[in-house]
Amino acid sequence: MIIILKAGVTEVAAKQLLAQIEALGLKPLYMPGVERTVLGAIGDERVLQSLHLDSNPIVDEIKPILSKYKLVSREINPVDTHVMLGNHAVGGERFTVIAGPCGVESREQLLSVAKMVNGQGVAALRGGAFKPRTSPYSFQGLGEAGLKLLKEANQLTGLPTVSEVIDANDVELMANYIDCFQIGARNMQNFRLLEAVGRLRLPVLLKRGMSATVEELLLAAEYIVNAGNPNVILCERGIRTFETATRNTLDLNAVAYLKRKTHLPVLVDPSHGTGVRELIAPLSFAAAAVGADGIIVESHLKPCEALSDGHQALDAEQFSTLMDGLRPFVHAAGKQL
């Protein structure tokens, strides 16, 4: 329930009402605005009847939250959320570009990609230390050794790092080394993992499951925010359809839809979304045009030597061509690169 208070209601009076809401077992939200304060009550709204809100003199209006997701919805918070990666605000004025290899493979490999993308307007460096691979015989990542390399790359370049967490037991360990968790498509509905990253404040890049609906993505984000972590970035990374020409079908409908329904930032992953190197630039341009807050792009100094996803990684020249081509689209969409 959204409870809009009358203009001029004091903080003390607002917090008294909030305490009554909390005492009924609902999650209380306090949202002071310039003109008036809005309260939120999340949970079984029927218990609110005992408070007789409609006749409370400090209450102006009561509105039910119609969507299944509450905390991440624009109904409860119409203002865009900014998630900080270092001093870069994802969801703010600047279009976010996160780049780096699919997996951390070696010191030389990671540092060479970090240097390659640094200074090109990139906000963060990506690289998986724990890789969720379809085959148990494929490269699984370097584990903690990979996390240490990510920390070294961060210290060398100043770039915040993003890395995938695949096990709730790794959350605390990873938080010592990286600046943003990635929850991959295969784990979007691993609810214990969502709650585990929700207990920290470290940003979470939550990717859409390959067969998940947009509502399921939003409810997965709701798990993280409900557990206490508001720093969630959504990511459209392509879904499975009948189409086989590309690795996935990048659902840009979802991006436009999400931007209307949620205050959380929305990124696009054209690398996994297409699986085709040549399609990454045009789909990045489309992502900017449709209103995405940024992109996450796989890149590698020597894509042909990559241990995973080399076919969809951009080399140095392709990456700088992408950034140059992206600029006019970002500007046309009213953001800066």
Residue among 59 and 181 whose Cβ is closer to ligand PEP: 181
What residue 100 binds from ligand PEP, Mn ion, none (CB within 5 to 8 A, per partner kind)?
A: none
What residue 143 binds from Mn ion, ligand PEP, none (CB within 5 to 8 A, per partner kind)?
A: none
C-alpha dist (Å) from residue 55 to 6, 28, 52, 198, 303: 12, 20, 6, 37, 66
Residue nearest to ligand PEP (CB): 184
Say if residues 81 and 119 touch (Cβ distance below 8 Å). Answer: no
Residue 240 CB, nearest distance to ligand PEP (Å)? Answer: 11
- CA–CA gap between residue 48 and residue 43 (Å, rounded): 10
Helices (H), the chain: 11-23, 107-117, 144-157, 171-175, 191-198, 214-226, 252-261, 270-274, 277-290, 316-332
Our finding on whether 185 is near Mn ion (CB under 5 A) is no
Choices 30-38, 79-87, 100-108, 163-171; region in contact with Mn ion by CB under 5 A: 100-108
- Taking residue 49's Cβ as centre, other Cβ atoms within 10 Å add up to 10
Neighbouring residues of 267: CB distance < 8 A, sequence distance ≥ 6: 90, 96, 98, 205, 233, 234, 235, 236, 292, 293, 294, 295, 296
Amino acid identity, position 174 = M
Residue among 128 and 270 whose Cβ is closer to ligand PEP: 128
Residue among 128 and 303 whose Cβ is closer to ligand PEP: 128
Residue nearest to Mn ion (CB): 102
Among residues 18, 102, 210, 306, which is the contact residue for Mn ion, using CB under 5 A?
102
Neighbouring residues of 220: CB distance < 8 A, sequence distance ≥ 6: 183, 188, 189, 194, 206, 209, 212
Residue 104 CB, nearest distance to Mn ion (Å)? Answer: 12
Choices 61-69, 178-186, 273-281, 307-315; region in contact with Mn ion by CB under 5 A: 307-315
Residue among 26 and 97 whose Cβ is closer to ligand PEP: 97
Residue 34 CB, nearest distance to Mn ion (Å)? Answer: 43
- CA–CA gap between residue 311 and residue 298 (Å, rounded): 10
| Contacts with ligand PEP, residue ranges (CB under 6 A) | 102, 128, 132, 184-186, 207, 237, 269, 272
Strand 204-207 with 180-183, pairing:
parallel
Residue 12 CB, nearest distance to ligand PEP (Å)? Answer: 47
Radius of gyration, CA atoms only, the chain: 21
Binding residues among 308-337 for Mn ion as defined by CB under 5 A: 309
Binding residues among 12-41 for Mn ion as defined by CB under 5 A: none
Our finding on whether 99 is near Mn ion (CB under 5 A) is no
Residue among 184 and 203 whose Cβ is closer to ligand PEP: 184
Residue among 53 and 297 whose Cβ is closer to ligand PEP: 297
Compute the residue count for the chain: 337
Binding site for Mn ion (CB under 5 A): 102, 309
